[in-house]
Chain A
């Protein structure tokens, strides 16, 4: 059968097809990660102005904001993949959810820690019980819960499916995080990047921020492909061991 007749969604459910795709994407995504992050760090630390109110600590934003965006984006991607896994029994989609979860958890942790480091000099406190902070913390626990749940089953397939259902239920937290700054109007500043009237950040700060966001995304794509490949290999090894009567 030619690949053209298989719907796009199912074409990459075949591990071999995915392997060919990832081999083609990998060099580009590694290159993009290195270049974008190097440029982003250079602009963020040396080639952008200090803020007139925040001074040099505004540079924390160039890590905090991309990590925050990724924490939500990764969960959104996991939720879509979980739905695909449940609806079409798409094997690779299930594995993607598992491969992406620790990355999402780390992004969330980076976002929380960077925000906390920024909050101490700016707000005078490491932590405030603001709606945005609380809902982001809940997201962190959703990631941890997913990782613990998938790990707790003897049958890996059953763990993946239970985890997928949990990820879909946890989706309610995403709009809460996104709109928390508008609904509750507490300490955390409202959106300034994705507003209806376009970004409200001056160009000299927008450039490093965009470079860092793109760099974080390229990093995620690189690592998630690596993790997916190792998951596929682990599964093949499990299959061989079962076939050899080892388990």
Chain B
């Protein structure tokens, strides 16, 4: 367990030292979101209706940006081989790396999202639900993304392929997150949607590391 924690800290430190690695996904998130009012016009009611969907779609694309580097660097310099040989199960290695990925993408998205919500005139009742849906949803995005990164490791055209594989699997998260937010905006309870997101979260954390670790082993064979 401490080994997994050290790996997490190591990954995090590496990413924090490369400042642009940290800034790029968030800058992308903000810019892509701000393109929408410029594209569809600044009409407040229209923006309010689009807000939750726009924030979620761009958040989802932002998590894609850093994914192809998740295992690539360790794969190329051979560190991944050592991690596979280490006593720490590869599944826990995956979880540690996913946690580091989430802290550098999902967490900043959560911090910035309310500001974008204000700019897009998101309904006042929806802010808490927006944050909750991001808190439950973005870790699953990182997890699914890690699976995609693992399964495309060593493939040609890895980056574009990764997006093609991962985006269909992101769809359920997007659907339930945005329905939670619009339920809150209409004065209904977002609870059932959030509970479903929570079940994805729990199920994802338990099951996906096995698939990702199997894919990593295949890449290292």
Contacts and interface: CB of A to CB of B under 8 A. Distances in A.
Nearest to A140: B168
Q: What DSSP secondary structure best describes chain B's contact surface?
A: helix
A149 B215 CA distance: 12
Interface string A127-165: 000000010001001101100110011100011011001
A170 B16 CA distance: 34
A165 B212 CA distance: 9
Contacts of B165: 145, 148-149, 166
A125 B158 CA distance: 37
Chain A interface residue number, banded: 20 to 34
B214 interface: yes
Contacts of B56: none
B215 A153 contact: no
Contact of B155 (A86, A141, A162): A162
Contact of A149 (B152, B168, B169, B221): B152
A169 interface: yes
In the A-B complex, the 3 residue pairs with the smallest Cβ-Cβ separation, listed nearest first, are: A152-B155, A141-B168, A145-B165
Contact of A161 (B168, B208, B218): B218
A173 B170 CA distance: 12
Contacts of A153: 154-156
Interface in A162-180: 162, 165-166, 168-170, 173, 176
B218 A145 contact: no
B147 interface: yes
B171 A134 contact: yes
Contacts of A173: 168
5 contacts: A162-B152, A162-B155, A162-B219, A168-B211, A169-B169
B202 interface: no
* Most chain A beta-carbon neighbours within 10 Å: one of B152, B164, B218, B221: B218
Contacts of B167: 141
Contacts, number: 59
Given A165-B211, A165-B215, A169-B147, A152 B152 contact: yes
B155 A165 contact: no
Contacts of B221: 158
A145 B218 CA distance: 18
Contact of B161 (A134, A148, A165, A176): A148
Given A158-B219, A162-B152, A162-B215, 19 more contacts: A86-B214, A134-B171, A138-B168, A138-B171, A142-B168, A145-B161, A148-B161, A148-B165, A149-B155, A149-B165, A152-B158, A153-B154, A162-B151, A162-B218, A162-B219, A165-B151, A165-B215, A166-B151, A169-B208
Contacts of B156: 152-154
Nearest to B157: A152
